[in-house]
Structure 1
Amino acid sequence: MNPSISIGNYLIEKLLECGVRHAFGVPGDFVLGFDKLLEESAIEFINTCDEQGAGFAADAYARLRGLGVVCITYCVGGLKVTNTTAQAFAEKSPVVVISGAPGKNERIRNPLLHHKVREFDTQYKVFQELTIASTVLDNPNIAFQEIDRVIAAALKYKRPVYIELPRDMVFVTGNPNYQAVKQPEASNAEVLNEALNEAVTLINHARQPVILAGVEMNRFGLQEELLQLVEKTNMPIAQTLLGKSVISELHPNYIGLYQGAMGQEYTREYVESSDCLIMLGTFLSDINLGIFTADLNPKHSIYVTSEKTSIRWHNYEEIRLQDFVRGLLAADIRRRESIATNPLKIPANFSPITGQQITIDRLFGRLNSFIDKNTIAIADVGDALFAGLELFIHDKSRFVSPAYYASVGFAVPASIGAQFANPNLRPLVLVGDGAFQMTGIELSTVVRYGLNPIVIVLNNKGYATERPMRDGAFNDILNWRYSRVTELLGAGLGFEVNTEDELEAALMQSQAHCESFCILDVHLDPQDTSPALKRLSSALGERIGSQ
């Protein structure tokens, strides 16, 4: 380590060591010094239209790259990313929130400085509730140690962290005698061995074992180990909504998305009748479990996450998810000679009917034959997500959505983070018209940085998710001419889509046009919703109606 390195440059070096090559944010006077350091470093600063867009972009980047960064100014910027940080915490996405702040010397006598809310530490207190670790870098003697501690927590727990950097500390030299201490992480070997023995015994004696994989298999980079486990044992595998694309959905052992009563009956019956359900990295949340319509018997369950390990009625402490999965892979598990035939097939090639009004079902049927292994589908909340669950994803980590926290407006800015995280993928953005009106202006950022997502706007003139639950004028929005945003931005191709043949022409032109973004304004009947959304709305409507 350079003995004369500044606190700001040390932070940048640590981010580079962790593979970060882009930071997302909006500049402001309290963070301009650090922004300039970023500009002069190997990390590219991507300034978005709004802080919320930056937060969503950093979240998507973290999901694909392993660590994301959002960099904003004090309070007026920082408090605008509280929602995106809350989502990252809820869905285990390791985002580093870096906020500029008033300098230490500016705080003497507690002046009414601009952007201040109540006290100078008000924002810090807010982020303590939304992150797994937080710090204010106001002491050069321990600044490097604090940076190491906080970033290590993000990587260990796969959750967001907060670093506040007073602007008069950016160029201050840290403690040159600081030596980084790496704490080895490992499971308790005896406990792990006992848990694996019980799990392997249960699996080998089972008649119908099945793996139910969740989002943590993505977050902890265990997709390859999961695939090897499936192919070594020949066990069938299902996945949860939030964990969609943890494995290729074209794999012969894949039996579908498990969502309790919301999902396909075949998948539900197979999973719930299993006498050994191996749940790996799975969140037992309401939407993941079909609004708690799931019927999973703990008597037949092996449940392992980064926070908990339980096998039948036994709980085990000090076990890492990574160690357990790799232990299963190395264990002597009986290979199954045959499994049930997977009934899930990609729909036949789409044949557009000239003049026929487009529907949700036909739209996503066509998208199933449109996507390929170089496509990453990014779904916003609503039917963009629930109809999107019917898409067959060709490779691991090729479907991203806020399927647990469910914050509307995620998809367009998330496509920015996703494409910077992996430039070889072209985002297919699935977004409702309401969600687009919240953050769709981030297409300006898309144009500025030469990105090329294909944006499908599901234009059903309002919040279709809520209409079946309880309708009213509050679900209506102004009907924009979405395809003409290209005229505003001076780039991109826009398409009005009312019929199946118009959809076909728009998709073919969009596929060929790689220089910039494409946007398809797909006009849908406001009452036309996917079967999955109908099932969800019915369950939620029953809850609301009883309150």
Structure 2
Amino acid sequence: MTSISQNLGSAYSEQLPSLGQSLCDILGFFGLKRLYGVGGDFVANLINALDGPLQVLPSSNEMHAGFSACAQAELTGLGACLTTYTVGSLPCVSAAALARTEGLPVIFLSGAPGEQEIHGHALHHMVHPASGWHTDLNAALNAFKALGIKAERLQGQRHQGQPNVAAARFFELVCEAVQTRQPVYIEVPRDLVKQPTQSLRLPANLAELNAMTRLDLEGAGLIADDICSRLVRAKYPLVYLGERLRMNGALLQRIVHFCQRLGLPYATSWFAKGMVDESHPLCQGAYNGVFSQCRGQGYIEEKADYVLEFGTAIYDSDTNNAFGSGTHAIDKHTNKTLLKGTARWELDLQAVMDALDKANLPVRNLSPAGQRDAALSDTPEETASVGYANLAGAINQFQRGNGQDFILVPEVGNALFAAFALEARASSVGRSFLANPWYAAMGTSLPYARAIADELNAIGSPQPILLITGDGGFNFQSNELINLQKQNANLIILYMRNNIFHLGKCGDAPIYACNDERFDVAKLIAAYGGQYHLCQSVTGLYAALEQGVKGGLHLIEVPTSTAPEQQSPIAIKLNTYISAKNGSPEAMVAWDRLCSSRPPQPQ
């Protein structure tokens, strides 16, 4: 048959890149600098092709590679993990579900059997029973598709006289991920990596790519006129910032600057916590109904008479909307404008902001002077033991007193819900609070910390990371410490130890016992080159944090009690709510009492 050279000429044929080269060029065009993954047979050619132009970094397992890629997407706008066929890619499904739920552009890239080695027999990586009558090569593709994720296997040459179009299709799939902020799963047959593929002329930059799909949206001026009239009439307006702005830093900065220029108070949803500096006087913190512990809760629930809501989810999440408890004052506010951002890249919100920035609006100072929530202002007794009840107050005090801003990474569990009372401050990487609010996926904080440490190192920032975890979450993922050791990460692990899964605990079954009294975490952290600190008081916590911010890997063990007075207010409310929903009569009475004590909604 005719070859590419014979059909299209030797000059054209000789300039064709390999698929591996094209993948590097495409990922580099989108700003990707590193991938996280685990090696394997079917992915070996991909590793060799990508390593050099990109950093191909190890993870302790495939699920952690996926979680690190999720954090990378949060920080840089695109994440990627690299695994082998099925036995490597299937463990990434939990991370893929997280990326889909949180709207994160993550490339789940997997090696696959070569097109020339598929002959109808079962390969050792396949999900295939010995009694099966047919082979199934698509188990991983179907698993990712079941999550609603676009999943494809690249295809090679179908005619000897034509180059394959695998690189072009790869570019289209990555565009899909970046422009829709959703993950994609791509399998690459290993025999394609070194084969020539059709050469591409990439856009000059991302701005040019986005301009190719930009729409001119009409009517934004009319919306802005209505907003302006409401802002002028309102005595106590509030701007409420949603989680969809996390991935659009330029638009977020415009909105925050708009608020600060006009003196308008603003708050964020829980899922958006950490995307603004909460120490600014106009910032009211992260609000979530009865579960809130933010400085502006009184202003939001008792005074705000107009709400301008930007970039919240189209379909409300129970977690982000006070767990569907009906106590979220902004949800029920009768005078508000909802700007959800229904166009790609929030172009509709940008159009409205273009008009608002030109409007002649009065400048006023509506910062609720002196209004601070107890968790943000009360200084814990220095001789008191540390528990979830005073943890946020102690860390907030340390940040203010030492002029030290942490990047906060709480693990799912009591640590996460206590952390919502922390003051998320300025950050070198644009985010100061990175958590996994889709809290069915426990075990993300150490993989998240890895990605944050890599990004801090890339920009030369010494800002410390403070990871807060219970022993249950820590034991899920402690094997990732090996990679933090290898990267010489500056990380403080605040290890809150009570030896049980306490959040949502509704009985005494052995399943809640997540640890053993004999477990010696001091020896564990020493094995990974870290320093151990035992914290017996608030003063001891301050001393350990002062050592931790000097650099290196530190673990601070904090023995904690499960007594109600030692729990954070948010966790107490959440446990009461969970027990009430599970039918506990005592919890139902306590929950009704808690909700009936709420202040009335302003009209």
TM-score (norm 2): 0.82
Q: Separation in 1 of the partners of 2:554 and 2:19?
A: 42
Return the match for 1:95 from 90, 106, 122: 106
Matched, 1:230 2:268: no
Q: Which structure carries more helix by proportion? A: 2
Matched, 1:302 2:337: yes
Cα gap change, 1:374/1:111 in structure 2, threshold over 3 Å: closer, same or farther? farther
Paired AA for residue 165 in structure 1: V
Q: Verify the 8 A CA contact 2:468 2:493 in the aligned structure 1.
A: yes
Paired AA for residue 186 in structure 2: I
Q: Verify the 8 A CA contact 1:151 1:161 in the aligned structure 2.
A: yes
Paired AA for residue 513 in structure 2: D
Return the match for 1:376 from 393, 407, 422: 407
Q: Verify the 8 A CA contact 1:433 1:460 in the aligned structure 2.
A: yes
Return the match for 1:392 from 406, 409, 423: 423
**Farther-moved stretch of structure 1 (84-93 vs 276-285):** 276-285
Cα gap change, 1:285/1:511 in structure 2, threshold over 3 Å: closer, same or farther? same
- Counterpart for residue 382 of structure 2: 352
How far does residue 248 in structure 1 lie from its aligned partner after superposition? 0.8
- Residue deviations 1:142-197, cap 9 Å, x none? 32222222111222222212221111111111113777694623344214333333
How far does residue 104 in structure 1 lie from its aligned partner after superposition? 1.0
**Farther-moved stretch of structure 1 (500-509 vs 173-182):** 173-182
Percent identical:
24
Map 1:189-200 to 2 at 5 A: 189-200=217-228
- Counterpart for residue 165 of structure 1: 188
**Farther-moved stretch of structure 1 (262-271 vs 89-98):** 262-271
How far does residue 471 in structure 1 lie from its aligned partner after superposition? 4.5
For structure 1, the residue ranges without an aligned partner over 5 or more in a row are 310-316
Return the match for 2:545 from 504, 507, 528: 507
SS in 1 for 2:571: helix
- Counterpart for residue 78 of structure 1: 89
**Farther-moved stretch of structure 1 (364-373 vs 6-15):** 364-373
Map 1:212-231 to 2 at 5 A: 212-221=240-249, 222-231=251-260
How far does residue 440 in structure 1 lie from its aligned partner after superposition? 1.6
- Counterpart for residue 112 of structure 1: 122
Provide the aligned length of Structure 1 versus Structure 2: 532
Q: Separation in 1 of the partners of 2:535 and 2:69?
A: 31
Matched, 1:409 2:431: no
Cα gap change, 1:26/1:359 in structure 2, threshold over 3 Å: closer, same or farther? same
How far does residue 339 in structure 1 lie from its aligned partner after superposition? 4.3
How far does residue 29 in structure 1 lie from its aligned partner after superposition? 0.6
Q: Separation in 1 of the partners of 2:200 and 2:73?
A: 32
- Counterpart for residue 61 of structure 1: 72
Q: Verify the 8 A CA contact 2:217 2:348 in the aligned structure 1.
A: no
Map 1:135-534 to 2 at 5 A: 135-139=152-156, 141-176=164-199, 182=209, 184-221=212-249, 222-264=251-293, 267-272=296-301, 274-283=304-313, 284-292=316-324, 293-295=327-329, 296-297=331-332, 299-307=334-342, 320-341=348-369, 343-344=371-372, 346-347=376-377, 352-353=382-383, 356-371=384-399, 374-395=405-426, 396-423=430-457, 424=461, 425-467=463-505, 469-479=506-516, 480-489=519-528, 491-512=529-550, 514=551, 516-527=552-563, 528-534=566-572
Q: Separation in 2 of the partners of 1:169 and 1:386?
A: 47
How far does residue 454 in structure 1 lie from its aligned partner after superposition? 0.5
Cα gap change, 1:25/1:385 in structure 2, threshold over 3 Å: closer, same or farther? same
**Farther-moved stretch of structure 1 (495-504 vs 392-401):** 495-504
Q: Separation in 2 of the partners of 1:266 and 1:517?
A: 32
Q: Separation in 2 of the partners of 1:350 and 1:268?
A: 21
How far does residue 325 in structure 1 lie from its aligned partner after superposition? 4.0
Cα gap change, 1:84/1:324 in structure 2, threshold over 3 Å: closer, same or farther? farther
SS in 2 for 1:11: helix
Higher-Rg structure is: 2
SS in 1 for 2:558: strand
Q: Verify the 8 A CA contact 1:214 1:282 in the aligned structure 2.
A: yes
How far does residue 226 in structure 1 lie from its aligned partner after superposition? 2.3
- Residue deviations 1:394-438, cap 9 Å, x none? 215100101134421111111001111222232111111101111
Q: Separation in 2 of the partners of 1:61 and 1:541?
A: 36
Q: Verify the 8 A CA contact 1:132 1:154 in the aligned structure 2.
A: no
Q: Separation in 2 of the partners of 1:107 and 1:435?
A: 41
Q: Separation in 1 of the partners of 2:236 and 2:514?
A: 49
**Farther-moved stretch of structure 1 (477-486 vs 441-450):** 477-486
Cα gap change, 1:206/1:500 in structure 2, threshold over 3 Å: closer, same or farther? closer
For structure 2, the residue ranges without an aligned partner over 5 or more in a row are 1-11, 129-135, 158-163, 586-603
- Residue deviations 1:76-120, cap 9 Å, x none? 111111101111111122211111111111223x21101111511
Q: Separation in 2 of the partners of 1:15 and 1:131?
A: 23
Q: Separation in 2 of the partners of 1:288 and 1:219?
A: 17
Q: Separation in 1 of the partners of 2:174 and 2:240?
A: 30
Q: Separation in 2 of the partners of 1:459 and 1:406?
A: 21
Cα gap change, 1:538/1:328 in structure 2, threshold over 3 Å: closer, same or farther? farther
Matched, 1:13 2:25: yes
Q: Separation in 2 of the partners of 1:25 and 1:403?
A: 23
Q: Separation in 2 of the partners of 1:3 and 1:236?
A: 58
**Farther-moved stretch of structure 1 (17-26 vs 190-199):** 190-199
SS in 2 for 1:171: coil
- Counterpart for residue 131 of structure 2: none
Paired AA for residue 320 in structure 2: N
- Residue deviations 1:294-349, cap 9 Å, x none? 1423642222234379xxxxxxx995344444443344444334343351274366
Q: Separation in 2 of the partners of 1:436 and 1:391?
A: 20
Cα gap change, 1:131/1:320 in structure 2, threshold over 3 Å: closer, same or farther? farther
**Farther-moved stretch of structure 1 (497-506 vs 266-275):** 266-275
Q: Separation in 2 of the partners of 1:288 and 1:318?
A: 20
TM-score (norm 1): 0.90
SS in 1 for 2:191: coil
Q: Verify the 8 A CA contact 1:259 1:268 in the aligned structure 2.
A: no
Q: Verify the 8 A CA contact 2:417 2:571 in the aligned structure 1.
A: yes
